[in-house]
Amino acid sequence: MKSLYNILSLFMLLFFFYLPALAQIFPAGERVLYNLGSQLVMDVKGGNTAAKTRLWQYNMNLTDAQYFRFERVNTVNDSLYYIKSVLSGLYITVSYEMVNALPASSGGNSNYNFRVYQDVKLPPPATPGVALLPTAVYDKNQRWKFIPVAGGTENEFIIQSVRYASKVLRPMGSESGSWLILGDYASTNIKRWRAIPMQRKATGVAVTDFVYNTDTDIISGKLSWNDNSSNETSFRIMARSSNSGGSWQVANVPANTEQYNFVFTAEQSRQGIYLNHCFTVTPSGSLESNRACAVPRQIGTPNQPAATIVVYDRAGCYSQCPTGCTGGIRLRFSPVSLTGTTGTSDVLNVQLGNGITQTRHPNTCCCVWSVSNFTGLKTGTWKMEKNTNGFYSFICNVTLSSGSNIIKVCSDNLSRGCTVNAFNYPCD
């Protein structure tokens, strides 16, 4: 009797000692099954909800086709589960289907006969205990044993078929679009899966009231989105130029947020005020959302029209007219202090051609060079310089206003061109 008591005591001790291990592996919720070998995820092909649709591995995009729930087979064995597709509500099933010709990539390996697909919940065999052919399909074809990987991270498993006990779930290859099959039991990365509780992506991201204030040099707008995640801690808002180029963080906002009013300077945008700006919203523990793109609308003081400069170059004047004129003058205009909101602020190089006419003044004769017309300059102050043998020397600053600005330059006195639209003899 004492011996029986000791045995019962030992049993109760072991029972309570191992009781925590009987807790289910997966709490309620959705997970993504990520393959450590291929770094791709389990996916219902084409997002198809129909029964018999095969499963493959695919790039992670966090659509419904990549989320699964796990239902315990019973309360006795905590490692046995049904895997249920969130997309279709169907169960992941495996069967052995004899084919006439295996794919060339199989090398004749019969494991390529295994087919993994989604199906309705199957019943047990009609006659329990009777040996069945390998091709028979019943509820055990939908049962999976999750075996924790020794030394692996949390929620890292080898997924073993209950129907074909010596086989484990794996992709046929390492590329996206490879079918899922069964393979021989081995703890290699291609046969390891991580069940990740990934948060759903934000969707419906839109940007509105997107403006650039020319008076304050400030860009502002409003972002809105749909929060589809259940347990995020924050949302990261990023911006970039169109669909390429570098990005920067606009803000990090709290969980359960679905809109944000942003403000930053035109300089902070890094993209230029006239370019497409694209915004994304990413919940913590998820992937980036769709991109919402727009060009800011300009507000503020009406834009000032751009300036045009007309440059006349006249050589020195002589007591007797020369028989011909040669050469020409090279000038450079660089921005100093610009006030205009439209037009270019790029450095402008002016190179006039050979003389084309001679104009006679009282008792003098001047060489008149070709006229150069440059449009679309920002109004304000520009520095004028002369190029001599490749080196630029300062002449003066000129002030350009909207509309036409006539600058006449004389080689004998370049500074005479510093007064715009007002120039006297001998080069008028």
Domains of the chain (ranges, CATH numbers): 2-196 (2.80.10.50), 203-299 (2.60.40.10), 307-418 (2.60.40)
Element (H, E) at 219: strand 218-226
Predicted TM-score (pTM) above 0.85? no
Give the Cα-Cα-Cα angle 345, 348, 352 (nearest 5 degrees): 155
The predicted structure's pLDDT at residue 237: 92
DSSP state letter for 29 = S
Q: How far apart are CA 47 and CA 355, in angstroms?
A: 74
User: Which amino acid type is present at position 279?
Assistant: F
Contacts of 4 (CB under 8 A, 6+ apart): none
C-alpha 328/C-alpha 330 separation (Å) is 7
pLDDT at 414: 62
Cis, bond preceding 426 (omega within 30 deg of 0): yes
- The answer to whether the CB of 191 falls within 8 A of the CB of 170 is yes
> Mean pLDDT, 10 residues at a time, over the chain (428 residues)?
43 34 58 94 96 96 93 84 96 82 58 91 79 80 92 86 93 94 87 90 93 83 92 89 67 93 78 76 90 85 68 58 63 86 81 55 56 76 86 87 75 65 50
CA distance linking residue 89 with residue 123, whole number of Å: 16
Instruction: Give the span between the Cα atoms of 304 and 215, in whole angstroms.
Output: 12
Q: Of 406, 399, 382, whose CA–CA distance to 332 is shortest? A: 382
Q: Are 340 and 402 in contact (CB under 8 A)?
A: yes
Q: What is the pLDDT, as a whole number, of residue 177?
A: 94
**What tokens were used for 153?**
């991270």
pLDDT at residue 68, rounded to an integer: 95
Q: Which pLDDT belongs to residue 404?
A: 75
**Rounded to the nearest 5 degrees, what angle is found at the Cα of 111, between the Cα atoms of 106 and 112?**
50
Number of alpha carbons in the 13 Å side-chain half-sphere of residue 284: 11
